[in-house]
Copies of this chain bind each other. A is one copy, B any other.
Amino acid sequence: MIKGDFTLPGEAGYEELTLELAKKWGADAIRDSDGTVLSDKIISTGYDIYSTICLVRADNEWAKANRNKLQQNYLMSKPVVAETHKIEIDLLSGFFREQFEVNASDDPKKWWQVFDRTTSEEIPKEQWSFNPSNGIVTIEKVKKWHQYTVNFLAWQIWEGISMYNHTTNNWNQEHQMPVDPIYPETQQFMLDYLQKWLDEHPHTKIVRFTSLFYNFAWFWGDPAIQRFTYADWGSYEGTVSPRAMRLFAESRGYEMTSEDFVNNGAYCTSHNVPSERLLDWMDFMNEFVIGFGRKCIDVIHAADKVAYMFYDDHWVGTEPYCKRFKDLGFDGLIKCVFNAFEARLCAGVKGVGLKELRLHPYLFPTGLRGEPTFMEGGDPALDAKRFWANIRRGLLRAPIDRIGLGGYLHLVQDFPDFVEAIKHIAGEFRTIKQFHSEGAPYTAPLKVAVLTAWGNLRSWVYVGHFIHGMELYEITESLAGLPVEVEFISFQDILDHGIPNDIDVILNAGKVGTAWSGGEHWKNEKIIETITEWVAGGGGFIGVGEPSAFPNSGQYFRLSHLLGVDREIGQTLSNVKIETSVAAGNHFILEDIDSNIDFGKDIDNIFVLSKDTTVLSEIDGSPKIAINQFGKGQSLYLSGFKFNAENTRLLLRSLYFAAGRQSDFGSWVCSNIHTDCAFYPNTKKLVIINCRDFEERTTVVDGNGKVFDVLLKPHGIEIIDL
């Protein structure tokens, strides 16, 4: 297959370039992008036409005429220290005033809350007043030197993604405002608009939603201080409105408060252990989004078109990893990707037709961090190859149906090597897809369950961008390219169903108190019992950073009896620690590593509980890697994790070790850790890839001991017929 499965961003005014590149890259579909249009000349070429629509910001005239139906947020005013017994708080101080406007029309006394954050007490409503003319709340009878904040409703008067594209690309157009589909009138408007739009786009085959209704939480700051003040890809802040809260109370039998969303300024962050109330709200919004979203998709299907969803931006409420997701009826799901774990995130969704990746770099002058891309100083061809090398690790493991680009096509004109790079990438993609289509690749005889407070709902962590230094992101990126089955489970899953029979290793990673490590869930004795019994019976447990941590003077790691190590946090310094030294000899899990282990920032002050714990590596006397036997099972502690080739191999071997399968290790693993391979048994193809910028030599041993030896170009690929 030499063409197809590729979506090209077309651009009016560059029709020849559009068609030339469509041919060169083997495109079968042409799309518009936010800020670009397709001309009739492009539309009439016979390519499938992708058109982007974002119903919540589709018609600014309607939005302007219905400002009481804009989307809202609960914001917390920046803390103010009281220097007298009466203070004034300028609600939007510190926020971007072009993004937010205080909602004075829904009764502040009903919907807002004022807190003494020094004591966490709410201030009685009669003690404060709001002046709509200047946006200031005055609080009387405050306690001097305490800090006060106001939880208030603010309209979103500039839609976040549009705002980002506008400011990044120096647009000069009217600010687009997002409307809230929670109102019946908005729903009707949106359905009507959609029908009209479909009628006006007869050539469009694929309607790409960007995305449904609610954007991830993205609060911008006062530009004099900071561009962004809050950003969480999984947070439901944008779904709030008095109407939604009323509907929730009717449906669920209790009322949410502003503080449920504000959470002392941490908002509904994905990093916190979700409360039952937050999970209820998410479930409620998911029900709403699926319900109304389905109506929109039905309109599209009735027009004989297909509907794809962009799995970024306004994805909140759709929850692709939720059982309801299939009810939406989407025909495709598109994910923009920098890394392998994002490819796996997309590939893992069930209940949707096609899956497509939007590759980076976007055809924009600068990248997401402001670095030059399609401009002087940029090297988009190298960027593309590197991103591809990252993503390709994941693509070897899980199938994706299509790839594509986004942005301004004309920008590629000065970068012919980028055009060539994409041509090669498209070819490689089609080859790998072909192998997948004939059967799944070989995986190691083990399955790992990543245990977090979110479980399956936030599989492959919570995306947005790779948060470097956060243990679970780093691990997830390693896992994304390993030949192992991966599942994400929650503490509630364990309570409800126990540990699934097919799991060989449980992995828990993160900082104490976070959703990733598990926080208060580790107080639950049933969790401790279940995992302890399971490991005693032969299960494997891998803990990274502060696994199972819960502050408790006796046992900081609540599974320290399995791990064989615990952490000293300064409160039990008088308990003398047992001295150990690094075990002699090269342990199975370290066999491919010839350099020092670099976990980035290690969790320090780790100590062994007994002489039975084996320390494989340490830093300043604190174990970096320790293993311990408990009953028939084995546990492994890592003091941190950083995604790189050495640690990825360390993790693969650790999984084999924890699963008690080290004797099975060897076949279908590259000798050179900077390369990866996948064997597709049905087609008898062995794919070997080079993840680095340098030429690399590697060998692979098949299941019968036969050795294959290849020399790979930088970022190269070799395919061997067996």
Contacts and interface: CB of A to CB of B under 8 A. Distances in A.
Interface of A: 79, 81, 83, 117-120, 143-147, 217, 221, 225-226, 228-232, 235, 263-267, 269-272, 467, 470, 510-514, 525, 528-529, 532-533, 536, 551-555, 558, 561, 569-579, 601, 604, 610-611, 631
18 contacts: A81-B532, A118-B558, A143-B525, A143-B529, A225-B610, A225-B611, A226-B579, A264-B554, A265-B572, A266-B553, A266-B571, A271-B574, A470-B573, A511-B569, A511-B571, A512-B570, A513-B551, A601-B604
Nearest to A604: B601
A671 to B, nearest CB: 34
Looking at A120, A266, A533, the one whose CB has the most chain B CB atoms below 10 A away is A266
A601 B619 CA distance: 12
A655 B47 CA distance: 73
Given A119-B525, A572-B269, A576-B231, A79 B554 contact: yes
B230 A575 contact: yes
B467 A573 contact: yes
A271 B578 CA distance: 19
Contacts of A513: 551, 569-571
B146 A511 contact: no
Given A144-B533, A571-B271, A576 B525 contact: no
A108 B545 CA distance: 41
Count of identical protomers in the assembly: 2
Contact of A555 (B147, B528, B532): B147
A271 to B, nearest CB: 5
A168 B677 CA distance: 60
Contact of A553 (B118, B264, B575): B264
Nearest to A235: B574
B272 A225 contact: no
A contacts with B: majority SS: loop
A571 B578 CA distance: 32
A432 to B, nearest CB: 34
B271 A576 contact: no
B528 A118 contact: yes
A467 B572 CA distance: 13
Given A272-B571, A574-B235, A525 B146 contact: yes
Given A569-B511, A569-B513, A230 B554 contact: no
A270 B145 CA distance: 31
Nearest to A471: B570
Nearest to A620: B601
Given A225-B611, A266-B554, A514-B571, 12 more contacts: A79-B554, A118-B558, A143-B525, A144-B529, A226-B576, A226-B578, A231-B576, A235-B574, A270-B574, A511-B570, A513-B571, A601-B604
Given A536-B83, A576-B229, A579-B226, A571 B269 contact: yes
A95 to B, nearest CB: 12
A263 B267 CA distance: 36
A83 B561 CA distance: 12
Contacts of A226: 576-579
Contacts of A145: 528-529, 532-533, 536
A561 B266 contact: no
Contacts of A601: 604
B631 A83 contact: yes
A145 B532 CA distance: 6
A574 B146 contact: no
A228 B576 contact: yes
A512 to B, nearest CB: 8
A572 B266 contact: yes
A370 to B, nearest CB: 12
A574 B515 CA distance: 13
A371 B120 CA distance: 54
Contacts of A570: 271, 470, 510-514
Contacts of A266: 553-554, 571-572, 574-575
